[in-house]
Amino acid sequence: MKQRILSLALAFTAIFQLRADEGMWPLTLLQKIQDPMQARGLKLSADDIYAVNHASVKDAIVRLMSKQGRMFCTGEVISSQGLFLTNHHCGYGAIQELSTNEDNILKNGFWAANQQAERKANFNIGLLRKIEDVTAIVLKDIAINQDEATRAKAVMAQIAKAKEAAIAGLGEERNNYVVEISSFYNGNQYLAMYYEVYRDIRLVGTPPESVGKFGGETDNWRWPRHTCDFSMFRIYANENNKPADFTPANKPFSPQHHLAINIGGMKTGDYAMIMGYPGRTTRYTYSEGIKYLGSKERPMRVALRRDIMDVYEKYMKQDEAVRLMYSDRLAGIGNYWNKFNGEAHDLSKPGGLYDTRKAAELSFERWMRENKKTDVYGDVTSLYDEAYRELYTYGLYPVYFQDGISNSQPMSFAMSIKAIADAIASGKPDTAMSNGMLRNIDEMYKEFYPAIEKEVLAAVIDHLYKDLDPTLLPADLVALMKKYKDNATAVAEVLFAKSILSDKGRMAKFLAKPSAKKLESDLLYKITIAYINKLRVDLKPVYDGINSKLDRANRLFLSAQLEMLPSGQAMAPDANGTMRLTYGTIMPYDARDAVSYSFFTTSKGILEKYKAADFEFDAPQKLLALIRAKDFGQYADKDGELHTCFLSNNDITGGNSGSPVMNAKGQLIGTAFDGNWEAISSDFAFLPNVQRTISLDVRYTLFIVEKLGGAKHLIDEMTIVKD
């Protein structure tokens, strides 16, 4: 019997577990994977990579954060003066914000001639200083099979106490830190992350958009690539090298560690590792979840986003000012449109991930019975089945809020002024709130083009009405669609013509004198708020029930998986926005029958793809001339060519954008910026034969800085090696 139980456990791990050389590893597990990393070629120790009491590689890794604290990308410090590198698409919003029609640095590029010329960027960065395991504190006196509502309430209360204690322990430094307590293994472990947050960030340099976004959406998630996806910023600090708000008196930040840059090139089989902040993966999604996402949820997201993107692109191609206005919005929607499109295809493949997961779940159930664990884990599969049955009926309502209503600016404005309406309804109007919005109204409508927004509104309405159950939609919307014979364009025209939300002048007039009566007569406002109320009030018990079932099933399933692990074996948890390390090798791949790819591209491909004045494949004439003349300087490879991008089999996801790709010595060789189409569903499963990270070769980056940008002074402040 013991042998049979062992066999079942091994069968389960063979189907479902990550191998040691895949996965996104928390820094707390580096000691456990040090040997396999070094066997692959790593010359550093785990302590060289992550240490608290002395400088280590982790001190050069930057977490990009909005002013509100939302993490969105990764970067790496590359000089002793706080210069850091990230992707062009990560800096895109800040660059766009600094651009005007008269000084369009998004289009033309920008290189600060000196530090005084660097421009204030509207985001923060965080540096991870230490990690503490607080599982024992958070889960104290909480039983594994406690009912989910009681358990969740207790966990949240204990997280709050643990966070309060952690912040108090920082003393005078507390205002410079953000402490986040994150869940790992679906609530089976909790780690506290201490981030020192720097608030004075300045743009140093960016290539022209035609270079930094070369290939556009056509090349997105595709190989071969020739995108020079980078931008450069600098961290500033006060006289004590501590975080400070922007002031001209601040000095360039002096980091504990910065990455040396190796321009010696690479070859197949060379060690490569990436450190950064991957956002979310769901590698342990239940089989019915795979089916639901592949057959319904992802296809619906794809269709809705595509319709919105079509509207953007139609007008952006007609007017350069509109292109500048909507560039960041298109990039944000388009990136995940491409990803969701690929996932819809991959997750619905016959004989694919669904069948693999089903086999793993059957092995789990056999292990559970053999080990007499049904009292703890016995309701896992039934909870999953119930939750996904309900999602087929109700799951699209929050999806269409996220991908539809939130992408319609007039509808999103309705959410902004709801607080004003609530204050009026309570009898305590908040003039400070409305006056504050009035002062910022130009910024509010800065990226608002009425013709686009009217058509986007029509697209959103069309999807809501045709894809969802009308009995669960706002009554005013249903009535209008019936009145205009299901013509969403006509309905959008009516709503847009009179709403205060669709016109800056009408909005300003309302904010100057807020009126409940005015809102009551605004059908666009009423429809938007009614939809939100459907989600947050009418359907709340439904979603609470679904989430409770999924939370419990996910937690228990991962608990069982940890219990089944052989002694001493490590298992990488899903990505959750915390710093991770992934390691592997430089590697080509076979994409499909008779299609094999090299691991690198060269500047020849830019000449081959170039299309004058094209929306996606234009390029500066100066760059084309440099390439034709082979004026590559010290950045040429041994083969005499300028290498542009390369592949490795590292395991990354969204949030890793801008992450450093390092060699065996921890030196920078590139920046990660994309994955490949053949592994588009990698958030659900690692696909070792085809999964590749697409990275920008640091030599192409430096070539653009020096040769195209004329910013040799930036090269001079970096530590560059060639060995």
Query: What are 351's two structure tokens?
Result: 């004989």
H/E stretch holding 149: helix 148-168
Alpha-carbon 31 to chain mean position = 27
Which among 229, 522, 651, 697 is annotated as catalytic? 229
On whether the CB atoms of residues 85 and 658 are closer than 8 A, the answer is yes
The span from the CA of 573 to the CA of 558, in Å, is 9
Contact 196, 127 (CB under 8 A): yes
- 507/441 Cα distance (integer angstroms): 8
Distances (CA, A) of 92 to 473, 583, 694: 36, 28, 19
Judged by DSSP in three states, 232 sits in strand
Please compute, for residue 41, the number of CA atoms within 13 A of its CA located in the half-sphere on the CB side.
15
* 54 labelled catalytic: no
DSSP class of 19: P
* CB neighbour list of residue 689: distance below 8 Å, 6 or more residues apart: 589, 590
Q: How many CB atoms lie within 10 A of CB 2?
A: 7
CB 181 within 8 A of CB 191: yes
| 323/107 Cα distance (integer angstroms) | 10
Contacting residues for 330 by C-beta, under 8 A, at least 6 apart: 309, 312, 313, 316
CB atoms within 10 A of CB 428: 8
Catalytic residue among 363, 499, 603, 657: 657
Give the list of residues 6+ apart from residue 272 with CB closer than 8 angstroms, or none.
266, 583, 584, 585, 586, 648, 650, 661, 662, 663, 669
Q: What are phi and psi of 567, to 5 degrees?
A: -55, 130
The residue with tokens 């359907």 is 539
Question: Can you state the angle between helices 298-316 and 396-403, rounded to 10 degrees?
Answer: 20
What count of other Cβ atoms lies within 10 Å of the Cβ of residue 307? 17
209 torsion bin: left (phi>0), alpha (psi -120 to 50), beta (else): alpha
β strands within 556-652, DSSP E: 580-585, 589-592, 595-597, 600-602, 643-648
C-beta separation of 584 from 647 below 8 A: no
Helix (H) or strand (E) holding 73: strand 71-77
* Torsion angles phi and psi, residue 73, rounded to 5: -165, 180
> What is the four-CA torsion angle of 418, 421, 422, 423, rounded to 10 degrees?
130
Q: Which one from 89, 226, 463, 643 is the annotated catalytic residue?
A: 89
- In the residue annotation, 226 being an active-site residue is answered as no
Cβ-based burial of 240 (10 A; exposed 0-12, middle 13-18, buried ≥19): exposed
Q: Which of 687, 693, 704 is nearest to 623 (CA)?
A: 704
DSSP state string for 30-42: HHHHHHHHHHHT-
Active site residue 657: yes
Residues annotated as part of the active site: 89, 229, 657
